[in-house]
Amino acid sequence: MTDRVEFQPVKPVRLYQRIVEQVEGAIARGELNPGERLPSERELVAQFGASRSTVREALRVLESTGVVRSRPGDPNGPEVLPFSTSTLAKQLTRLTQAQEVSLADLISFRMVLDSSANMLAARLRTDDELAVMESTIARMRAAIDAGYDDFSAADVAFHDAVAQASGNMLLQVCNHVVRGAVLSLISDKIAHARNSAALMSQSMRHHEEVLALIRDRDSQGAGQISRRNLFDYYASYVPKAEREPLRALLLEPETPSGEVR
Amino acid sequence: MTDRVEFQPVKPVRLYQRIVEQVEGAIARGELNPGERLPSERELVAQFGASRSTVREALRVLESTGVVRSRPGDPNGPEVLPFSTSTLAKQLTRLTQAQEVSLADLISFRMVLDSSANMLAARLRTDDELAVMESTIARMRAAIDAGYDDFSAADVAFHDAVAQASGNMLLQVCNHVVRGAVLSLISDKIAHARNSAALMSQSMRHHEEVLALIRDRDSQGAGQISRRNLFDYYASYVPKAEREPLRALLLEPETPSGEVR
DNA sequence: TCCAGGTTACTGGTAGGACCAGTCGAGCTG
DNA sequence: CAGCTCGACTGGTCCTACCAGTAACCTGGA
């Protein structure tokens, strides 16, 4: 077959890792489905021929990656979980906080994701999804006097509803994570802003604009406005020297004339 | 302070999880940086006051999430690793395998990320970065006869160069991960395509178009073409019923006339 | 003086035993 | 038949022990 024997570098594979691979493989091949149970630890010890310590280390790895869940005393054994985006979100969060990601990067990313979600939502939304957005907008309006926290929660709910309507779970998850990262970086500044009421009513107007465009199925307009709103809302927190990327995403650098509000 | 005492529902927290949290916290707070070492397992046993099994379970979890790496016999102890995209990529591919994320979702996301990277790169690129892109394009052209693998590698290098020039690490990492996920899902189909040479030369033209726009600093054009190229390249792999989101991202639904090739 | 060799004191990987606190169901008790 | 008790499980944690690897140190010879 090959014209010369090719040797691959060998790396030691831990025993617990083999167990993890076997379980993951069984799930990937559909032999083990969410809701089903693994044998008990002591039974796995017998099946794998490994010590309980090793089996447990494998189970901890599987548990940390959201594949299974162990409950003390459960006679049925560890449960195979349905796939969840939470570990993906956790990794993304690590990326945003551990790595050198600037606030400008986060906001750029947020502009990209949110505007895309708005574009897709405008095109693909159902009437039910539109109704959900409208109800969250109503909650925002109601919360405008209740204080920033309630307002912010309704705000988040609105963006989640839009992301949901986009139909793209990736967009949904990433958007959620990045928004959380941005808010955790500047929420204190917003909360302590003396003109928070003004900020909220400005934000209110912005959201209603977007909602109107989504209602009218104006995909391009919804994306455009979404980017601009985020820029207007967050740009002041970004050092002037780093605002260029944000401006580049506005799509309207060569149109000084026009309806720029 | 509070007008009534509020009790929170308690959930049992495993001991190994507390250890994981402490280590992750120390890294998040910057007290522990990549390249530094954790104390040895037996030393951690003393510090945490837990048994070695428990400490090891915590270390296995940290290892599986790419936070640390243990090497047998290393007198320096487990090493704190720099952030890696591999676990992120692994989670993403798991999601796609579990059918939680469709190929259409991945390609939509890729269109969003790649076009944004192109927009930013067109606006912010330095001449050096442009030179890097040009060299990868040259590599692609050279590899067009060498076969799909080399071509694909150069292709990846080009997109990485663009992402790098965008200046946004989030965009860079996510783009990289998503591209990897897409390729792992359909690379076999592409490699076995009988007209792979035609595909490559088509791809070649597309990339040169994009490069020209980045050279001319045409931000909007680069983003637009990037989306269209990806659509043309990948849409055929997506079931027709799921192509609507991809089309929605093309920004040109209301322009049936024009240079749609 | 310098270097090659082996010794040694660690490291992490694995095994297996023991005990505890839960959970659940079988079976006893009323 | 309802309710309770009890026992046989579960996973969580601890412990000791041994093995194989690594690297620094130590020792011998040149």
Of B101, B248, B249, the CB nearest to A170: B101
In chain B, DSSP assigns E strands to 68-69, 79-80
The pLDDT value recorded for residue B15 is 95
Q: Count Cβ neighbours within 10 Å for each residue of A193-202 and write b for 16 or more, e otherwise.
A: eeeeeeebee
Section B128-155 average pLDDT: 91
Is residue B261 over pLDDT 60?
no
Contacts of A72 (CB under 8 A, 6+ apart): B12
Residues of B in contact with A220 (CB under 8 A): 251
The pLDDT value recorded for residue A5 is 65
Is residue A222 over pLDDT 90?
yes
Do the Cβ atoms of B91 and A94 come within 8 Å? no
Digit-coded pLDDT (tens) for B100-112? 889 999 999 999 9
Q: Searching chain B, which residue's CA lies closest to the CA of residue A101?
A: B169
Residue A11 CB in 7 A reach of strand D: no
Residue B21 CB in 7 A reach of strand D: no
Residue A223 CB in 7 A reach of strand D: no
**Domains of chain A from N-terminus onward:** 15-80 (1.10.10.10), 86-248 (1.20.120.530)
Whole-angstrom distance, CA of residue A235 vs CA of residue A179:
15
Residues of B in contact with A178 (CB under 8 A): 170
Residue A9 CB in 7 A reach of strand D: no
Do the Cβ atoms of A99 and B113 come within 8 Å? no
Residues of A in contact with B64 (CB under 8 A): 20, 61, 64-65
Find the Å distance, CA of residue B11 to C1' of nucleotide D3: 29
Q: Rounded to 10 degrees, what is the CA torsion of A96, A230, A250, B251?
A: 90
Is residue B144 over pLDDT 90?
no
Residues of A in contact with B56 (CB under 8 A): 53, 57
Find the Å distance, CA of residue A232 to C1' of nucleotide D5: 69
The pLDDT value recorded for residue B201 is 87
Section A71-76 average pLDDT: 89
Do the Cβ atoms of B220 and A251 come within 8 Å? yes
* ∠ CA B116-B120-B122, rounded to 5°: 115
B189 pairs with which residues across the strands? none
Name the nearest CA neighbour of B123 among B217, B208, B213: B217
Contact B224, B230 (CB under 8 A): no
Mean pLDDT of chain A: 88
Do the Cβ atoms of B248 and A61 come within 8 Å? no
Please give the nucleotide, over all strands, whose C1' is closest to the CA of residue A72: D11
Section B14-27 average pLDDT: 95
